[in-house]
Amino acid sequence: MRVSSPIPHKKARIEIIPLIDIMFFLLASFMMVSLSQVHMKGMKVNLPKGASGETQSKRDYISVSVDEGGRWYFDKQELNADDMQAKLKQVHMESPDAKVFVRGDANTPHINVTRLLDQLRNAGFYKIAFEIKSYSAAELPATRTH
């Protein structure tokens, strides 16, 4: 004899629509994270901070750095003035429209960065930007009112 239960029995169903939604969300999240990663080409220097700093997402740029001691670096390779000029001219011949990011240590004298800029102009580069750190929300300087 079979006794029936007062609770109706339904067959279990696996809903695939929510699973597809979750997979698309994960895919989009991983794509956004991978696009936001920045490939660091330059030397580690103590960058000055600014309110207008932005993260660059392109990888096709040249990074030149000046450290606190006034030494110059092309990507991560230390070069003297003559070698830097030769390297910059070689790169300019290969890619004349390349962007150049200058990474100057916050404690380096201004003349060191000016000399590097002169080298870049002599090599033919005119698309030059300075890399800075963005202020965090807690570090934003107070605005002055006159």
What pLDDT does 49 receive?
Answer: 62
What pLDDT does 129 receive?
Answer: 83
CB burial readout 5-22, b (16+ within 10 A) else e: eeeeeeeeeeeeeeeeee
Q: The whole model's pTM is what?
A: 0.53
- 61, with CB counted inside 10 A (0-12, 13-18, 19+), is middle
What pLDDT does 106 receive?
Answer: 82
What pLDDT does 61 receive?
Answer: 76
As beta bridge partners, residue 101 has: 63, 129
Fold of 49-134: Nucleotidyltransferase; domain 5 (3.30.420)
Which residues are CB-neighbours of 39 under 8 A, at least 6 positions away? 59
The length of the chain is: 146
In tens digits, the chain (146 residues) has pLDDT values of 677 777 777 777 778 888 899 999 999 998 888 776 655 555 566 656 655 555 544 456 788 888 888 888 888 888 888 898 899 899 888 888 888 888 888 888 888 888 888 988 888 888 888 877 766 655 555 555 55
Is the C-alpha dihedral spanning 53, 55, 92, 115 positive or negative?
A: positive
What pLDDT does 22 receive?
Answer: 93
Residue 83 CB: number of other CB atoms within 10 A? 13
